[in-house]
Amino acid sequence: MKKKDIITVKIDDVRFPNKAYGFVEGEKVIIKNGIPGQTLSAQVIKKKNGNIEARLLEVLERSPLERQSGFCSHYETCGGCTYQTMKRDEELRMKERQVKTLLENANIEIENWEGIVPSPLETGYRNKCEFSFGDEEKGGALALGMRKKMSHYEVVTLKDCNIIDKDFLAVIQGSLAFFQERSVPFYHRMRHDGSLRHLVVRKGKATGEILVHLVTTDEIPFSLEEYQDMLLTLPLAGKICGILHSVNNGIADVVRSDAMTVLYGHDFFTERLFDLSFKVSAYSFFQTNTEGAECLYSIIKDFAGDVKNKTVFDLYCGTGTIGQIMAKAGSKKVIGIELIEEAVEAANENSKQNNLTNCIFLAGDVLKKVDELTEKPDLMIVDPPREGIHPKAIGKIIAFDAPEIVYVSCKPTSLAVDLQVFQEAGYQVKRVKLMDMFPRTVHVETVVLLSK
């Protein structure tokens, strides 16, 4: 096989995150976005580390693991979901197998493997989505939705979607019509011109509060007041509590803000988990599946055990959700650390609102901020970003010599690397449990209890 050859591949399995593989002429071929049991047509891209990488062209035969219906109309082109067609139980089995294989290959010794918990909702579960402006094809009409599969530029306008709230679709369609009528251009990443960049929509599942956040360049050839008025007249099941506008003149295709203005209401929405209330600001991290988050935090509570009169560190704490749950459970003291200042402000405000006096949240990088902590933790909870714990920070975390650590991971490849370090430092992996927070996508949460 050589570059650009068209080949036929029967998929044997999929490694995390979405690396499907099969064998052709005795050589391993890796193709993104395949499903076990499918027969695919693919084009060879390159040979790397002894493997052949190919690009999916067409599904020639469906897999017995796939369902026959229940897809959105965009599933073949949209990059939002990978396992749209996969049967639910098969998706769960595959995700569990992927994580188990990763940890076994990293020589992680696991005392108790406790399987995977399904999300309470399979559809309409997302409480946050970042949508992109662009075009569906070069020079085409303005589009607003998700990036196309295998594309960094083209966008699929969402007319329906299995994983987001129906109010999000109404906001997308209303916004798209508004900007198309006024011929407002999207920001072109190659030419560095245009206006529209992203639209972020968040909704409190328990409260119905909706936060709409429009991101543009400083070129604004339309009336923000008219846009606000259009949004407020949309027929929604929930209620808009805030409309924000951010200016981003940076080159990178990320949601960020050089300056943010509140056009209507306030810059946060409120969500409830268990019997606690949380104010979530525009850039604060909050789990994107509210019902799933309650399941995830129930696992964390179970792994943490009895925390009464214990000192708990909640590292990478976001808006302090886990820390406040620990505080409510009777911890002597909870100390949270989070990089994003507005998330920390919200966490401290939330704890006051929830009448919790035994927790405090600090703003700063975990790598530097842990140096300021003088207390000795009885329990540490770490919920790092996708890349895992910073190599220097993990040494500082280990130096606290906490008897137990609960590690919450959204990326098992990073988890496997970090667990090797903890294991070498004398921690044993006592329990592992998975939570399928993101049905139909490649992602899965893993909760690990480490004991010294």
Active site residues: 410
Pairwise CA distance, residues 325 & 118, whole Å:
22
Beta carbons within 8 Å of 138's beta carbon, 6+ residues apart: 154
Strand, helix or coil at 41?
strand
Beta carbons within 8 Å of 219's beta carbon, 6+ residues apart: 193, 194, 195
Pairwise CA distance, residues 132 & 443, whole Å:
20
> DSSP code of 43?
E
Pairwise CA distance, residues 127 & 119, whole Å:
14
CA-wise closest residue to 63 among 91, 42, 102: 91
User: Is residue 412 a contact partner of residue 388, using CB atoms and an 8 Å limit?
Assistant: no
Whether the CA torsion 107, 109, 115, 120 is positive or negative: it is negative
Amino acid making up residue 2: K
Q: Calculate helix-pair angle for 88-105, 412-424, nearest 10 degrees.
A: 30
Residues linked to residue 262 through DSSP beta bridges, in sequence order: 244
Residues linked to residue 116 through DSSP beta bridges, in sequence order: 434
User: Is residue 159 a contact partner of residue 73, using CB atoms and an 8 Å limit?
Assistant: yes
The rounded Cα 65 to chain-centroid distance in angstroms is 25
